[in-house]
A and B are shown apart, each in its own frame.
Chain A
């Protein structure tokens, strides 16, 4: 009897050793290593990497969205690759090449549809989130035979996707209530929208304009009113500074009832009251802003810059309405991502081949992760946010 017990005990322990411990997905991170086609998976609580996956193709300007349970990441590569990654198993589940040249994607409110936005051929394509089977596509054919590059794709409530057409100067809203038969509405927006965002409440879509000073705004609750311009003529005819990299917009720009937006060709962050959509301030910064990101509580806004000022990061105190810290964290700071409640921010330092982890209160570096030319950093907490 005692022998039998021992055998059972050994067998039991052996089984335990073969099973990885259960864990959640709320504190995971995916880091794009743009030059080598790899992603590194990391844990934002232990601040350590736990897996590295290769073979993802051209990941310059790659981005990722998460399934609603945070388990799967969908990585959109520049070369049109769409890769579904299991964050817990640390491996690729499925990979397809969906276009020739892509620029990101989004996931529907119900988590069932993954949509990629493409430069070539211009348009969006919708895939089943489970199988990556193609469901439908909306070519960005704005005039007979003329296709536009698509930018700023974001999900909005009602399984809708909103995006802008760089070449056509329009905002399109595609309703995927029937995933195989999307219905699209078009709205004139302004010259050369370069990116877009959906506000955290899902109500407004903003498209930053490159071809003119201003931002186009569409109220998704009242789309029949059409898009209107806000921050119009903020440059007031002054000569623009050269823009060596296009800024990026996303719903993180909204804090404390204000939107903090990058100016184009000016070294300023523009501040807009989101109740009235009037400009209420501008904050001088040390370069052409690329990412203007509010800490989740809205107390700070962190700004990084285009080449050649991309070694700098400015921290704005939203109560004071000015830059309170000028950091020089590393070489080629391409992206920033806050932990869900904002105590840390992760910065990718492309030319230092590191992720730098900062404490947001005392602004000191508390950790780092080695990565090969890292660019985008995507935390699994994005799974629960509108417009990501």
Chain B
């Protein structure tokens, strides 16, 4: 008696997963280095919310056009030499001893990485 189709499909999916996990582990080192580049894209609606958050709320210190204010400028040229991971950590955890607060109540680490990625490449309007 042959396996039901659904079970065969499940087996295929499992082997698929195994492959994915193995390749995933192999890529983990690279992935860490490129974490911001590989950061999962938030859905479009969330991207709009995050863009609004950055322009308006981050903008109260960094300027709505991100050219800096009480906080430093966040334009691509200003961020070029800074590691993306460190910038994402600053967004997420804040910077003790400075005016930069932690934003972790309002976005996930992956979203912070997405924001940094967008800042480095030129932030959407």
Interface residues of A (CB under 8 A from B): 34-35, 58, 60-61, 78-79, 100-101, 103, 119-120, 149, 151, 166, 192, 194, 210, 242-246, 307-308, 332, 350
Q: Are B61 and A246 in contact (CB under 8 A)?
A: yes
19 A-B Cβ contacts within 8 A? A35-B64, A60-B64, A61-B69, A78-B63, A78-B64, A78-B69, A79-B67, A101-B63, A103-B69, A119-B70, A149-B70, A151-B70, A194-B70, A243-B99, A245-B61, A307-B57, A308-B105, A308-B106, A350-B56
Report B16 CB to chain A, min CB distance, Å: 42
Q: Which residue of B lies closest to A57 (CB)?
A: B65
Within 8 A of A (CB), among B20-73: 56-57, 59-61, 63-65, 67-70
Tell whether B86 is near chain A: CB-to-CB under 8 Å.
Answer: no
Most-contacted residue by chain B among A58, A79, A192, A244 (CB, 10 A): A244
Majority secondary structure, A binding face:
loop
Please name all residues of chain A whose beta carbon is closer than 8 Å to the beta carbon of B105 when the two chains form the complex: 308
Tell whether B76 is near chain A: CB-to-CB under 8 Å.
Answer: no
How many contacting A-B pairs (Cβ < 8 A)?
Answer: 59
Q: Which residue of B lies closest to A195 (CB)?
A: B70
CA distance in complex: A34, B57 (Å): 13
Q: Which residue of A lies closest to B101 (CB)?
A: A242
Q: Are B57 and A60 in contact (CB under 8 A)?
A: no
Q: Are A58 and B61 in contact (CB under 8 A)?
A: no
Q: Are A58 and B57 in contact (CB under 8 A)?
A: no
CA distance in complex: A60, B67 (Å): 11
Report A147 CB to chain B, min CB distance, Å: 13
Please name all residues of chain B whose beta carbon is closer than 8 Å to the beta carbon of A194 when the two chains form the complex: 70, 99
Q: Are B94 and A242 in contact (CB under 8 A)?
A: yes
Please name all residues of chain A whose beta carbon is closer than 8 Å to the beta carbon of B65 when the two chains form the complex: 58, 60, 78-79
Please name all residues of chain B whose beta carbon is closer than 8 Å to the beta carbon of A149 when the two chains form the complex: 70
Please name all residues of chain A whose beta carbon is closer than 8 Å to the beta carbon of B64 when the two chains form the complex: 34-35, 58, 60, 78
Q: Which of A34, A119, A192 contacts B69 (CB 8 A)?
A: A119
Q: Which of B56, B94, B99 contacts A332 (CB 8 A)?
A: B56
CA distance in complex: A243, B59 (Å): 14
Please name all residues of chain B whose beta carbon is closer than 8 Å to the beta carbon of A120 when the two chains form the complex: 68
Please name all residues of chain A whose beta carbon is closer than 8 Å to the beta carbon of B56 when the two chains form the complex: 332, 350
Please name all residues of chain B whose beta carbon is closer than 8 Å to the beta carbon of A332 when the two chains form the complex: 56
Q: Which residue of B lies closest to A102 (CB)?
A: B69
Q: Are A244 and B101 in contact (CB under 8 A)?
A: yes
Q: Are B60 and A61 in contact (CB under 8 A)?
A: yes
Q: Are A166 and B70 in contact (CB under 8 A)?
A: yes
Q: Are A210 and B99 in contact (CB under 8 A)?
A: yes
CA distance in complex: A151, B59 (Å): 17
Taking A60-B63, A308-B106 as contacts, is the C-beta distance between A101 and B70 under 8 angstroms?
A: no
CA distance in complex: A192, B68 (Å): 17
Q: Are B102 and A245 in contact (CB under 8 A)?
A: no
Report A289 CB to chain B, min CB distance, Å: 14
Please name all residues of chain B whose beta carbon is closer than 8 Å to the beta carbon of A103 when the two chains form the complex: 69
Report B64 CB to chain A, min CB distance, Å: 4
A61-B60, A78-B67 known; 9 new pairs, CB 8 Å cut-off, are: A58-B64, A58-B65, A78-B69, A79-B67, A100-B67, A101-B68, A149-B70, A246-B60, A308-B105
- Mark contacts of B7-27 with chain A using CB atoms, 8 A cut-off: 1 yes-contact digit, 0 otherwise: 000000000000000000000
CA distance in complex: A192, B63 (Å): 19
CA distance in complex: A115, B92 (Å): 38
CA distance in complex: A366, B116 (Å): 43
Most-contacted residue by chain B among A58, A60, A245 (CB, 10 A): A60
Q: Which residue of A lies closest to B100 (CB)?
A: A242
Please name all residues of chain B whose beta carbon is closer than 8 Å to the beta carbon of A79 when the two chains form the complex: 65, 67
- Mark contacts of B68-89 with chain A using CB atoms, 8 A cut-off: 1 yes-contact digit, 0 otherwise: 1110000000000000000000
